[in-house]
Amino acid sequence: MKSIDLFNEIDKLIPKRLALKNDDIGYHGQLNPKNLNIEKIKIMMDLYPEYDNYNKNTLIITHHPPKFNPKTPNYTIHSNWDIIDGGANDALAESLNLKVIDYFDKNTKIGRICKGNTNIKELLLKINNNFRIDKNNNDINSVRIVNYKNSNIKNIAIISGFGLSNLEYIKLANKLNMDLLISGDLTQSGAVLARNLGISIIDTNHHSCEIPGLIKLKETIEKIGLPVEIIDTGLPWKDINLNSIKK
């Protein structure tokens, strides 16, 4: 398929106009997209140099914009996928068996307000089962929790990816009387704020809480008709148990 035709098909499914202002979405690469003929698609969360080794007939779709100019043709679908109905945030809710009732940030449509009849332990079991591409990987063997409570939880806010890095989102979740906020990228300041407010937080890490959305993205792109594969690039860091280090 001609790349320009492919990009048009992608835009019909996930319009670029939905993206946040200045989001670096769309085509990236060293090759002229007008001259490309795409035969297959690889989907990744992030692009690293060791994965930039496909031929010009392969399109790498990433959720996050690449941090370098790739040799392999790349197309980024980012905040437009987070925002669109049926996209990353709705996939996140579905993976947790939560019912979406509204947008979390009504100005941007980032995140979702959900209803559930659950508790933190049940949610952790779902996170463990559903936040992996490869069921055998070790990307999410632990989570960080602020204000762990054993009580029943009904009002839950979710934000795919970065939500806990934004202190205003933690304040908004509290203002909306959410019992729990689930996202990634929790900072020291955010944890202290949440603890003081009394709202419960689950930080699954940015990468892992976007896995349900990445799987849904593959299903969506497959509608175009080209072969599509998810490549599990994993976390950008490794967790090292200090007790395992021997002198």
Query: What is the pTM assigned to this prediction?
Result: 0.96
Split at pLDDT 50, 70, 90, the class of 138 is: confident
Question: Does the pLDDT of residue 52 top 90, yes or no?
Answer: yes
Quote the CA–CA distance of 193 and 112 in Å, as a whole number: 21
Quickly list DSSP for 142-165.
Answer: --EEES---S-EEEEEE-SSSGGG
Q: Do domains 3-82+211-230 and 85-209 have the same CATH topology?
A: yes
Split at pLDDT 50, 70, 90, the class of 141 is: confident
CATH number of 3-82+211-230: 3.40.1390.30
Homologous superfamily (CATH) of 85-209 is: NIF3 (NGG1p interacting factor 3)-like (3.40.1390.30)
Q: What secondary structure letter does DSSP report for 129?
A: H
Query: Average pLDDT for residues 171-198, to the nearest whole number?
Result: 99
- Beta-strand relationship, 26-28 and 74-76: antiparallel
Query: Average pLDDT for residues 51-75, to the nearest whole number?
Result: 98
Q: Residue 22: CB partners within 8 Å, gap ≥ 6? A: none
* Residue 22 · residue 200 · CB < 8 Å: no
- Domain-by-domain residue ranges, the chain? 3-82+211-230, 85-209
